Amino acid sequence: MSCLHEMIFEGLCAICGQTVDTGSKDHINMTHNTTGITVSLVEAERLEKQDRERLLKEKKLSLIVDLDQTVLHATWEPNIANWVDEQKAKNSVKDLRTFSLDGSMNKYTIKLRPGLDAFLKEMSKYYEMHVYTMGTRSYANAVAKEIDPDGSLFQDRILTRDENKDKSTTKKYLERLFPSDQSKVVILDDRADVWDYSPHLIQVKPYEFFYGIGDINAPTNSPVIIEDTVNKSPPKQDSIQLEQDHRPNYIPDPNDADDILTVIQKILINIHTQYYQHYEQTNNTATILSQLKSDILKDCHIVFSGVIPLQTKPQDSSIWRMATSFGARCFEDLTGKATHLIAASPGTNKFNTAIRYQHIKIVYPTWLTNSIWHWKKEDETKYLVPHNKREGSNTSEVENPEEAQLDFDDGLGFEWEDDEVDAILMESEDDKSSLKQEQTEEEEDEDEEDEDIEDWLGAELSGSEEGDDVAYGEEHEDEDQDKEEEEDEDDDKEEEKEDDEDLRSQKRIKRVY
C-alpha cells in the first residue's frame, strides 16, 4: 500500500521519508509556529474534526485575537521607554511594560488596554484563544510573555507574519488556521479590511495611548482613517508630573478611560450563550454575530456629508460598510426616509437642506462610530452639529454638491408656516387685482359722464343757433330748470364717489389686518 504523504516536513514525507513536491495545492499549512510542516486536505479535515469534538465537549468556541491597537498599544520611541522606566520605579504607572528583542537595540514600550488581564482570564472560560498578528515571531513571543507569563492562555497558538499565508503583510486568512470548518470562530481585531470584512469579525475601536503613534506593525495597505476633527476636547493635564528633560514626544492619554474590553466581553459571552443554547438551530458564530449587530441601528436611514472622500465609492468605504453591518440603511442622497445626516461640518448643501426638517438628526461621525464601538445606539443629543436656521452655503465639501429637493412621500417635515405666507401673499395679489379693476371701472364711468355732458352742451348750443320759435322768457326758465337738474345730478354723483371711496378704504383696512 503506497503512502498518502499526509504530513510533509521540509519537503519530506513525515511517514515514509519520500521527497514530496511542496508546491502542491493538496497540502496546506495549518500550524501556528512553523512554516515547514504541511498536511493533506484529508488530514486537515481529520484534525479539525478532532478539535471540533474537543471544543464541543468543553463547550468552548475559538477566539482569534490581534495584538497591536486591539488589546495593547506599542511603540519603540526611545524617550517614552526612558520615561516609563522612571515612572515604573515610582510605581505611578499601571500596565506599562518595556522589553527589548534579541539582537535589537530598540526598546519597546507597550501599554495594555484597560482591563486586559481580567478580560483574557474571563474569556479563557468560554474560548480557546489564538494570537494572529502582523508583527514578527520574536515580537509576538515577547508580547505573549508580558500578557500571558505562564503560557496558560495562548500556549503555542500564536501566528505571525513570518508564518502567514504566502508571507502576506496585508491580509489575514481565517483558513490559515481553520481550513475547513470556521463555524466556531470569532475574530477580534481593530482592522476589518485585512480580513476582507469577514462575518466572523468583531471590529474594535483602535486603542491609542501614545498620541501620534499608530500601529507599529500595521499592514502596508493602511486604510484611510476617519478622524473626528471637530468637537474634540483638548487633553487635560496628567496627574503624573513629567520631568521636562525626559518628557516623551508623544503625550500619553492621561485619563485612559477606555472601556471597550468590558463591552466586548459581554458580546463574546452572549455569542457563546446563543451558540450553545440554540446549537441545533444556529451553530455558526457568523450567523449569531450578524443577528446581534443588525439590531443596533436597524431603524436608522443614514446619509453622509463631508465624510467619505470624493474619489471613493460610498458603498466601498469602511464607515458605510460598518453602518450597514450594524443594521443601518445608507443612502447617497437625502430623501424623506432619512433619519440621520452624518456631517463632518456645517455649511454643505446636504446640511443646509437637512436643517429644514426636524425629523432628520444632524450628528458628527463620532455618533456612528461610538454606537458601533459600544454596540448600542448612542443618544444623538450629545453629538448634534450646532447650526443656525440659515447657514451660508459652502459647496467645497468632500462629496459632490447636491441640488435635488427632498422627496417627502409621507409629508414629514412639511413647514406649514411657508404655506400660510404663500396664501397671504396670494390673497394680497388678488386684492390688488380687484382694486385695480374697480379703479378702471370708475375711470370708465367718469369718461362716459364727460361724454354725456359734452353731448348735452353740444345739443344746447346747436339748438340756440338754429333760432327755434321759443319765447325769450320761456327759454331762460328752461335753462334755469336744466341747471338745477344738472346740479342735482352732480350732487348725486359726488355722493356716489364718497360711498365708493369709503368702500375702498374698508377693503384696505381689512387687508392690513
Q: Is 418 a catalytic residue?
A: no
- Dihedral, CA of residue 109, residue 113, residue 117 and residue 118, to nearest 10: 170
Sign for the pseudo-dihedral over CA of 107, 108, 114, 116: negative
Q: How many CB atoms lie within 10 A of CB 438?
A: 14
If we measure between CA atoms, which residue out of 315, 314, 174, 452 comes closest to residue 444?
452
State the catalytic residue, choosing from 68, 148, 189, 215: 68
Do 302 and 340 touch, CB atoms closer than 8 A? yes
Q: Tell me, what amino acid is at 293?
A: K
The strand pairing partners of 9, in sequence order, are: 12, 37
40 phi, psi to nearest 5 deg: -70, 160
State the catalytic residue, choosing from 21, 26, 66, 480: 66
**12 alpha carbon, distance to own chain's centre:** 53
Query: Strand 27-28 to strand 37-40: parallel, antiparallel, or no bridges (unpaired)?
Result: antiparallel
* H or E element that contains 226: none
Sign for the pseudo-dihedral over CA of 396, 397, 403, 406: negative
Residue length, the chain? 513
Q: Is 68 a catalytic residue?
A: yes
The three cell numbers locating residue 407: 422627496
If we measure between CA atoms, which residue out of 190, 202, 186 comes closest to residue 272?
186
Helix, strand, coil content of the chain in percent (nearest 5): 40, 15, 45
From CA 308, how far away is CA 344, in angstroms rounded?
A: 10
Q: Tell me, what amino acid is at 27?
A: H
* 260-277 vs 285-294: helix crossing angle, rounded to 10: 120
What is the rounded end-to-end Cα distance, in angstroms, of the chain? 109
Residues forming the active site? 66, 68
